């Protein structure tokens, strides 16, 4: 028997769209900021705990496990409690957990801290997207791309601030406490601005993906997989082809990130003008074209231009998918978004490993050609997943 379908908790006395949109942007900013605070700490944790690469990899997996497990239940929590409560709780959870990452003195302690940290990240990721679609409906215009752009901006800010603090010879604990204080200050602005939701009808926390979500979720996973491949394998691809020196290998990902952020900052206006279907068709085609250019370019400038095209093309695909998940009627919005977020995160976690497996069995360019073919499914299915 199918579980009783419940949608997101009904909004009561909504805040003005501009205030709610600001709060949603701040939630995305906190999430990106918190996640990027961890990356500069990894070498310190490895050194202080005397970890080898195998044990470090197992510990890093704890964050992914925590995220996926929390994502599985957060959709149901948003349906029953409202996304506002989940966002506020997770924002404070992130602020309180970041210093624990620097306080851990044993592998077991850092594993526990990463598990909780990952759970807070996973839950806020689902809840802020649930809230984002509510705000977008209230505003009556596309806002999702701009929300996702704030995650990227938060990621850049978090990595920059943490790196600057550590470079100034502050201890990891002091650095994380400063970053936690920044997140706490931002979190203070959330409760009065987020949409207030009342409890929804009772129902299951989990629901089997149905209808169009069965197509949206894997397509989102493919997009996230491609983004993860840019981060983990893009530099190696262009350096192994001798297009750029090893010291400049990261330039491609920098250009990709800038292009993606710029695309998302302008994405709402573009989507409002062209419609979701056109954005998926042309964005997907542009991303595929970027992969083709990257893989066939004989010169570095052309290969780097490929990174830019991939970033621009992929920038608004996931925001459109979230909007379409909110518009479908086959399952509750909150559970549909949870399914998409979990699948997308699985793409981020498993994608780099899958690329490495194919690269070992064949070659790295062959793995990237497979990504290009998979991305081609997005423009080819745009008419099925988008209503306009």
CATH of the domain at 100: 1.20.1250.20
Q: What pLDDT is stored for residue 5 in this prediction?
A: 37
Q: What pLDDT is stored for residue 53 in this prediction?
A: 67
pLDDT confidence of 6, banded at 50, 70, 90?
very low
pLDDT confidence of 8, banded at 50, 70, 90?
very low
pLDDT value at 227 more than 50: yes
In a domain, 195, yes or no: no
Mean pLDDT over residues 227-236, rounded? 80
Q: Are residues 129 and 237 in the same domain?
A: no
For 197, phi then psi, to 5°, come to -125, 140
In a domain, 197, yes or no: no
Q: What's the pLDDT tens digit per position in 126-146?
A: 999 999 988 998 888 889 999
Q: Are residues 137 and 263 in the same domain?
A: no
Burial class (CB in 10 A: 0-12, 13-18, 19+), 284: buried
Q: What pLDDT is stored for residue 319 in this prediction?
A: 92
Return mean pLDDT, the chain.
Answer: 85
Q: Are residues 141 and 248 in the same domain?
A: no
Q: What is the DSSP string of 147-164?
A: HHHHHHHHHHHHHHHHHH
Mean pLDDT over residues 234-250, rounded? 83
Lowest mean pLDDT among 127-136, 331-340, 343-352: 343-352
Q: What's the pLDDT tens digit per position in 77-100?
A: 888 888 899 999 999 999 999 999
In a domain, 23, yes or no: yes
Q: Are residues 261 and 176 in the same domain?
A: no
In a domain, 10, yes or no: no
In a domain, 200, yes or no: no
Whole domain around residue 50: which residue ranges? Answer: 17-187
Lowest mean pLDDT among 14-18, 103-107, 349-353: 14-18
In a domain, 132, yes or no: yes
Q: Are residues 155 and 270 in the same domain?
A: no
Max distance between CA atoms of the chain, in angstroms, equals 60
Boundary-marking domain end, from 187, 202, 221: 187
In a domain, 3, yes or no: no
Q: Are residues 123 and 33 in the same domain?
A: yes
Residue 320's Cβ-side half-sphere holds a number of Cα atoms within 13 Å equal to 34
In this structure, are residues 348 and 35 in contact, taking their beta carbons and an 8 Å threshold?
no
Q: Are residues 255 and 364 in the same domain?
A: yes
Token pair for 380: 């080819």
Q: Are residues 154 and 105 in the same domain?
A: yes
Closest CA to 194 of 94, 288, 82: 82
Q: Global pTM?
A: 0.82
Burial class (CB in 10 A: 0-12, 13-18, 19+), 298: exposed
Q: Are residues 117 and 35 in the same domain?
A: yes
Checking 294-302 for CB contacts under 8 A at 24+ apart, the result is 294/237, 294/238, 294/368, 295/365, 295/368, 295/369, 295/372, 297/243, 299/243, 300/238, 300/243, 300/244
Which of left, alpha, beta for 14 (phi over 0: left; psi -120 to 50: alpha)? beta
In a domain, 296, yes or no: yes
Q: How far is CA 138 from CA 5, 14, 59, 133, 324, in A?
A: 22, 9, 41, 9, 16
pLDDT value at 231 more than 80: no
Mean pLDDT over residues 314-335, rounded? 87
Q: How far is CA 339 from CA 68, 72, 323, in A?
A: 10, 7, 14
pLDDT value at 109 more than 80: yes
Q: What's the pLDDT tens digit per position in 175-225?
A: 999 999 999 999 999 998 998 765 554 455 565 677 888 899 899 989 988
Token match 């604990």: residue?
A: 173
pLDDT confidence of 1, banded at 50, 70, 90?
very low
Q: Are residues 21 and 96 in the same domain?
A: yes
In this structure, are residues 138 and 195 in contact, taking their beta carbons and an 8 Å threshold?
yes
Q: Are residues 37 and 86 in the same domain?
A: yes
Task: Report d(CA 188, CA 170) in Å as an integer.
Answer: 26
Q: Are residues 181 and 220 in the same domain?
A: no
As for how many domains the chain has, the answer is: 2
Lowest mean pLDDT among 71-75, 106-110, 368-372: 71-75
Q: How does DSSP classify residue 192?
A: T
């Amino acid at each position: 028997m199918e579980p009783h379908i419940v949608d997101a908790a009904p909004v009561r006395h909504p805040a003005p769209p501009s205030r709610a949109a600001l709060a949603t942007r701040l939630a995305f900013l906190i999430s990106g900021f918190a996640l990027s605070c961890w990356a500069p700490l990894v070498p310190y944790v490895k050194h202080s705990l005397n970890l080898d690469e195998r044990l470090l990899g197992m510990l890093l997996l704890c964050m992914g496990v925590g995220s996926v497990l929390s994502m599985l239940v957060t959709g149901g929590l948003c349906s029953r409690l409202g996304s506002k409560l989940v966002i506020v709780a997770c924002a404070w959870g992130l602020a309180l957990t970041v210093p624990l990452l620097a306080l851990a003195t044993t592998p077991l302690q850092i594993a526990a801290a990463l598990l909780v940290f990952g759970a807070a990240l996973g839950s806020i990721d689902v809840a802020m997207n649930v809230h984002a679609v509510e705000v977008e409906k209230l505003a009556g215009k596309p806002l999702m791309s701009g929300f996702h752009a704030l995650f990227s901006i938060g990621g850049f800010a978090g990595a920059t601030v943490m790196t600057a603090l550590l470079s100034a010879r502050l201890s990891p604990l002091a650095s994380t406490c400063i970053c936690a204080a920044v997140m706490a200050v931002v979190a203070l602005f959330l409760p009065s601005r987020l949409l207030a939701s009342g409890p929804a009808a009772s129902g299951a926390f989990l629901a089997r993906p149905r209808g169009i979500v069965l197509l949206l979720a894997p397509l989102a996973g493919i997009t996230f997989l491609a983004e993860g491949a840019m981060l983990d394998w893009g530099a190696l691809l262009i350096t192994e082809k001798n297009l750029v020196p090893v010291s400049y290998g990261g330039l491609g990902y920098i250009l990709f990130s800038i292009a993606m952020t710029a695309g998302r900052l302008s994405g709402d206006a573009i989507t409002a003008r062209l419609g979701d279907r056109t954005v998926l068709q042309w964005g997907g085609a542009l991303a595929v074209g970027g992969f083709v250019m990257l893989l066939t370019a004989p010169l570095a400038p052309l290969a780097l231009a490929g990174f830019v095209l991939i970033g621009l093309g992929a920038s608004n695909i996931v925001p459109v998918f979230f909007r379409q998940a909110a518009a479908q009627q086959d399952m509750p919005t909150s559970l549909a978004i949870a399914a998409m977020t979990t699948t997308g995160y699985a793409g981020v976690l498993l994608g780099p490993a899958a690329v490495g497996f194919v690269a070992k069995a064949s070659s790295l360019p062959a793995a990237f050609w497979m990504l290009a073919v998979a991305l081609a499914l997005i423009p080819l299915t745009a008419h099925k997943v988008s209503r306009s």
